[in-house]
Amino acid sequence: MKLQPGRLADGREITYFDESDDAVRNPLDRRELPPPPHPSELRFDPLTEEWVAIAGHRQSRTFLPPSSECPLCPSTEDRLTEIPADDYDVAIFENRFPSFATAADAGGFTVDETAYPVVRPGDGRCEVVCFTPDHDASFAALDEKRVRTVLSALAVRTAELSAMPGVEQVFCFENRGVEIGVTLHHPHGQIYAYPYVTPRTTQHLAAARRHRERTGRILYADVLAAERAAGIRVIESNEHWTSFVPAAARWPYEIHVAPHRQVPDVAALTEAERDACAPLWLSTLRRLDGLFGQPMPYIAAWHQAPVRIDRDLGYLHLQIFSIRRAPGKLKYLAGSESAMGAFVNDIAPEDSAAALRAAG
């Protein structure tokens, strides 16, 4: 894989990840762009002990443009985009409308811990991951070689973002489908470098810590071993990975793709583990699309350990889930889920796993 860094017209970074050593991707971004927006701010909610980002500038972000105006397609002589090159394999660049970004002059900010609300800068970083220059493709339509390139690119960015001052957790993910809330149709994912450990990860780590105190073992490793032993919710596996529907799945169709070896993040995977991940990642998405014979809206979320704490408790895994429960029917997060965080799943995980196996 060949890496080629560059700069966009407003100073944001872009990196091309190419499968050929002959590729040359260093064109000048000829656009005239305004400076990046002022960073967001974080406000602390004492009722939940969670940080909430306030990012008003994101209201003006691009929303479902026609394909002729897509900002993620390669640039042409007639139209300049976020990708200055006329072609690419995988490209990753800083988001123009970030939820988190570190300002050059943010160092003098003082946090008053006695104030209400407690406010701090929304430091961090948000990046866009373009999987392919083909606007009409999808991740499931990629070949294994390209998925392998995506994995390597995520590993590079995870390592580099983890080394940034103030970054506490790196989250790689893909949103697919207007039902999920995507604002661009071009196949792409995102990377968030958070200045705090996220609520879901905090919850996972607390449970893992209690489990280790009781048993001396790693919680997710025990869950994975139990699912593999039971077999009824396993979808498929290979030498290094297993995909399964968790016994307490919250979503109608939810799959975990987990390595057999405990590692904290994508960057810690071996070459063999990355090679083995690609076919299962692809197979899982293709099974989802095959369930109802139509593109499935989904979120694909890489759960990675925090950068500085509890890395020995974390267990990398890919969670892929859809809100579609049947053709024409979505699983809405209504009163119980949205207000109380208490999930009710309409489909038994065993039935979901059987349907996904058959869809293969």
Instruction: Provide the token pair at 267.
Output: 């960057």
The Cα 179–Cα 133 span in angstroms is 23
Q: Which residue has tokens 């039935």? A: 351
| Binding positions for Zn(2+) | 70, 73, 135, 186
Read off the DSSP letter of residue 140: G
Question: Cβ-count burial of 112 within 10 angstroms (0-12 exposed, 13-18 middle, 19+ buried)?
Answer: exposed
In order of 21, 79, 131, the CA distances from 27 in angstroms are 17, 14, 19
Angle of the 144-162 helix axis to the 271-291 helix axis, nearest 10: 120
188 catalytically annotated: yes
CA 307 vs CA 82, 201, 320: distances in Å: 29, 12, 23
Cα–Cα distances in Å, from 84 out to 25, 129, 231, 275?
8, 15, 48, 30
Tokens of 255: 């799959």
φ/ψ of residue 171, rounded to 5 = -125, 120
Q: What's the rounded Cα separation, in Å, for the pair 303 and 282?
A: 18
Which residue in 38, 57, 185, 188 is the catalytic one?
188
Please give the Cα distance from 321 to 44 (Å, whole number).
29
Instruction: Report residue 205 CA to chain centroid gap.
Output: 19
Residue 166 and residue 120 in contact, taking contact as beta carbons nearer than 8 Å: no
Q: Give the annotated binding-site residues.
A: 70, 73, 135, 186
Please state the separation of Cα 302 from the chain's center in Å.
Answer: 6
Which residues are known catalytic residues? Answer: 188
